[in-house]
Structure 1
Amino acid sequence: MSNLNAASNHAPVATSRNPATGELIATYSFQTPSEVEQLLDVNAAAFRLWRATPMHERVAAYRRLAAILRERAQPLATLITAEMGKTLLSARGEVEKCAATLEWVAEHGPAILADEPVKVEGDDQVHVSFLPIGTVLAVMPWNFPLWQVIRASAPIMLSGNGFMLKHAPNVMGSAYALQDAYEAAGFPKGLFVNLVADNDTVARTIEDPRIAAVTLTGSMRAGAAVAGTAARALKKSLLELGGSDAFIVLADANIDLAVKAAVEARFQNAGQVCLAAKRFIVEQPIAQAFTRKFVAAVSQLTVGDPLDSAINLGPMARADLRDELDGQVQRTLAAGASLLLGGHKLEGPGNFYAPTVLGDVQPGMAAFDEETFGPVAAITVADTAEHAIALANTSDYGLGGSLWTQDLGRAQRIARRLETGGVFINGYPATNARIPVGGVKKSGYGRELSHFGLREFTNAQAVWAKSIV
């Protein structure tokens, strides 16, 4: 298996560069066909060992892994910041969230995966067992280099499945750090492995009989390609394809609380979050006040070295992503939106973009129709609450959404009308081990986390025993 800076006679797959400075961190190489074959063999053997491992031993490994992540929190956080640019404080929080999720899965997973009895007529004994299906290939993004992987792997592996990670090329250091942590925690060597490969190799790997299913977090284009390959091979897939979450502020909302949450919801991780507020839909009576306070708050954000604790926003992860975001901003302005703040790249080294607020954004504009993956907020004014609901649903995406109002009964009724996988009332989108995460429409399908995620990649085997006396 190829590793960091390993000598090889084949070309590098990609380089990891510090997005704050542009400096080279490491070079990673494609695995050769023979290396991929060996990887699949080793992983298949580890899966057979793991599926036979008693649940209490799996749980113990999970607890050891959580402890190891906490012990290594500082170097892991520093690595995350170096590879993708989030602030060091945010990176430390990511490591802790991973550890806490592993502990929740270890505490509650065994009961969720236990045999479930079913009552039927007569004296027959029926139960459903939740059994492993094999190795799941995970194609993961760069924006949460550890959390995205733990969010997928923790539920998947507890039932006895294997895990093969195809991580984003610019965060391969984090991928190998996780593999090392799994092995240090006592998981069978080869059970959690990294696939370093191009798209064609990923497709062939999905088709391999040693891979049982695939999960992907990424773009709609990548999701369609992976899901198509999996479907042709008659294998299950789970897709989380991003979103353009609406942040609805109704006329009776507490404006100050909504503004504070709106800034956090949009600009965390430099705006590079799938489940995050992106379209701010504000009811007309309070639109002017909300916009004024929101712009003032965003203007106070500081951009710079993510290792500096005084900095709110680090760089964007890659230069091409910054260019794409700037193109969306310029197209939105050309279509008639107003520039309230920012709207430009920051000069100097690194992939920095000014915190940006766009006003008068309407359906048909890039910042409304497309996912803006960076520090850009789009404000749209709704005539009424009904209009706000319609605007929120006018999107190809359906991952999450926020709703701000002091009438909780009304909020519950509105939530059922929003076409999203999650609704956050007087709060902003977030993930929690206890709550399922996933989307509808072109945001994907399937659920991670909670009892849904723990059972997502299992064989729900029905066992029906009839009495013979």
Structure 2
Amino acid sequence: MAIATINPTTGELVQEFEPHDAAEVERRIAEADEAARALRRTTYAQRAQWMHAAADALEADIDEGARILTLEMGKPLAQSRAEVLKSAKGMRYYADNAERFLADEPLPDASAVGASQAFTRYQPLGVVLAVMPWNYPFWQVIRFAAPALMAGNTGLLKHASNVPQSAIYLDTLFEEGGFPTGSFRTLLIGSREVEAVIADRRVKAVTLTGSEPAGRAVAATAGREIKKAVLELGGSDPFIVMSSADLEAAATTAVKARTSNNGQSCIAGKRFLVHTDVYDEFSRLFAEKMAALRVGDPFDEGVDIGPLATRSGRDDLAELVDDAVARGARVLTGGKAPERPGWFYEPTVIDQLPDDARLVLEEAFGPVASLYRFADREEAARIANQTTFGLSSAVWTNDPEEEAWFIQALDAGAVFVNGMTVSYPELPFGGIKDSGFGRELAAVGIREFTNLKTVWKA
């Protein structure tokens, strides 16, 4: 795949970029390795000062950053601005909390092991490679980079090949704040070159957000090289509506959950499971609200849904819907690509899905929602847990006992009650099953790429 910006709104090539050759990749890895040795000798206070300065620079340049995001992957401009601000917030969060998260932790049973004192200390690993996707070109990177750098690591970024301008923009962001040269470096390389970078002895760990096949490949290489890996591989999240739920609020939030980022979010609600007693009313509300969304040029204010980021993504989504319809599913609204340039797909609601439809088990990465009717909570949990994914989930109920039951029953990395899943710097993020392993964000996220060192003192 060429490293190029292709405007998904028009399908036109904007700019193609020459990949880094072996010599340039070597130079950038060497820079990151040298910077890692320097950075681990700095204080949290110094790194926090640099991180705040970088966040200020990113926020001050919000218009340019948002323009790049919308140009390269097609999200509405207001959402691009929000992503820039969220990224700056995440940077400040780790600047303010890293020292507390990584403080020495006394071990209370020191005397039991013949020590006058025992504690654990978190120390940086060194150079960490991040293999990142195109759907949140800034935020996905920042939520790795901010904790990694604040812990004293340095970062290498292999970004998705269709967002090179985003990757290049981030290449110098941290140095603008004052971090040593090489603390964060973008590698303009293809996926075939990733294995060699992971295998490089100077690279100590790898994190990937992306597809399940990509995750399996990265995990295999990291395992062979005995290096730490964190994987976030997407999901097919259930959004469960019980009969006690506020249907108007649930339907309104369901639309946002399914269509934010043009529906291209790993943690989006994708499968909407509705109790039979309220199914007809909820499906009517949901379909009406989805049909009312405005599809168009993401640079136009007031547009709700822009194009999908790639032609292949749009075509894959259309195939899932067409397969379901061919097998007997019913389209309540949408269901096709509009006749216009670019890679658009209508906001779609589909129900009466047969078990053999691909849409039942595969992830729909776009504004397509599938509806399922259930009779009781046991059936809801069975449907929710039947996919191989386990990233997040949402439950709508006003019954405390039901709430407690679902929190326990759902196989997922998170459960959001009467809301939609959102990644916050303050909350751990990650999944189970084929959605990956390890966690990002919060305290656990910054600790993933550190050495937990045990200290025993006589």
Q: Tell me the TM-score range normalised by the shorter chain.
A: over 0.9
Tell whether 2:26 aligns with 1:34: no
Equivalent residue number for residue 99 of structure 2: 110
The aligned residue for residue 269 of structure 2 is 277
Letter of the 2:187 counterpart: L
2:6 match: 17
Residue 237 (str. 1) matches residue 241 (str. 2): no
- The percentage of counterpart residues that share the same residue type is 41
The alpha carbon displacement at 1:32 in A equals: 1.2
**Uncovered stretches (5+) of structure 2, i.e. residues with no partner:** none
Q: Who is 1:324 aligned against?
A: 316
Match 2:331 to one of 339, 352, 359:
339
- Identify the match of residue 190 of structure 1 among 182, 191, 211: 182
Asked whether the equivalents of residues 3 and 164 of structure 2 are also in contact (C-alpha less than 8 Å), the reply is: no
Match of 2:50 among 44, 61, 82: 61
Correspondence for 2:146: 154
Query: Which among 62, 86, 90 is matched to residue 79 of structure 2?
Result: 90
Letter paired with 1:158: M
- State the one-letter code of the partner of 2:97: H
Tell me the equivalent position of 2:281: 289
Contact 1:360 1:379 in 2 (8 A): yes
Cα distance in 2 for residues equivalent to 1:188 and 1:236 = 24
Q: How many residues align?
A: 455
**Aligned with 2:179: secondary structure?**
coil
* Aligned residue number for residue 116 of structure 2: 124
Structure 1: stretches of 5+ with no match in the other structure: 1-11
State the secondary structure of the residue aligned to 2:454. Answer: strand
After alignment, is 134-143 or 361-370 more displaced?
Answer: 361-370
Please tell me whether the aligned partners of residues 13 and 197 of structure 1 are also in contact (alpha carbons under 8 angstroms).
Answer: no
Match of 1:176 among 165, 168, 180: 168
Offset at residue 335 of structure 1 (A): 1.9
Contact 1:153 1:163 in 2 (8 A): yes
**Shift in Å at residue 178 of structure 1?**
1.3
Which of 58, 66, 88 pairs up with 1:77? Answer: 66
Aligned residues of 1:113 and 1:129 also touching (Cα < 8 A)? yes
CA distance in 1, matches of 2:232, 2:8: 25
Indicate yes or no: 2:207 matched with 1:215. yes
Q: What secondary structure sits across from 1:461 in the alignment?
A: strand
Counterpart contact for 1:446–1:456, Cα < 8 Å: yes
- Does residue 405 in structure 1 map to residue 405 in structure 2? no
The whole-number CA distance in structure 1 between the counterparts of 2:354 and 2:67 is 40
| Contact 1:248–1:282 (8 Å) recurs in 2 | yes
The match for 2:251 is 259
Kindly provide the amino acid, as one letter, of the partner of residue 349 in structure 1: P
Deviations 1:199-242 (A, max 9, x none): 23110110000100110000000000010011001111110000
> Cα deviation per residue 1:149-205 (whole Å; 9 max; x = unaligned)?
001111122111110000001111011111222111111111100111122311011
Tell me, yes or no, if the aligned pair for 1:249 and 1:282 is still in contact at 8 Å.
yes
What are the superposed Cα offsets for residues 422-463 of structure 1, whole Å, 9 maximum, x if unpaired?
A: 000000110111100000000000000001101011000001
Q: Is the 8 A contact 1:130 1:460 kept in 2?
A: yes
1:416 aligns with 2:401: no
In 2: Cα distance, 1:364 partner to 1:243 partner: 19
Q: In structure 1, what residue type is equivalent to 2:266?
A: C
Q: Note the alpha carbon deviations across 1:38-90, whole angstroms, 9 max, x for none.
A: 11111111111111111110011111111111100111001100011000000
1:279–1:377 contact (8 Å) kept in structure 2: yes
Contact 1:70–1:96 (CA under 8 A) maintained in structure 2: yes
CA distance in 1, matches of 2:172, 2:453: 33
Deviation for aligned residue 1:413 = 2.4
CA contact 2:391–2:412 (8 Å) conserved in 1: yes
Show the counterpart of 1:137: 129
CA distance in 2, matches of 1:398, 1:295: 26
**2:379 paired with 1:379:** no
TM-score normalized with structure 2 length: 0.98
CA contact (8 A) 2:327 2:354 kept: no
Post-superposition offset of 1:123 = 5.2
| Secondary structure at 1:108 match in 2 | helix
Q: Give yes or no for the alignment of 1:356 onto 2:348.
A: yes
Distance 1:385 1:38 in 2: 57
Aligned equivalent of 1:443, options 435, 451, 456: 435
- Note the C-alpha offset of 1:308: 0.9
Query: Which portions of structure 1, spanning 4 or more consecutive aligned residues, are displaced by more than 4 angstroms?
Result: none
Q: Determine the structure 1 residue equivalent to 2:448.
A: 456
CA distance in 1 between partners of 2:304 and 2:24 (Å): 42
**1:200 counterpart residue number:** 192
Q: CA deviation at 1:317?
A: 0.3
- CA distance, structure 2, for counterparts of residue 426 and residue 369 of structure 1: 24
C-alpha displacement of 1:382: 0.7
SS in 2 for 1:165: strand
1:298 alignment partner, one of 273, 290, 297? 290
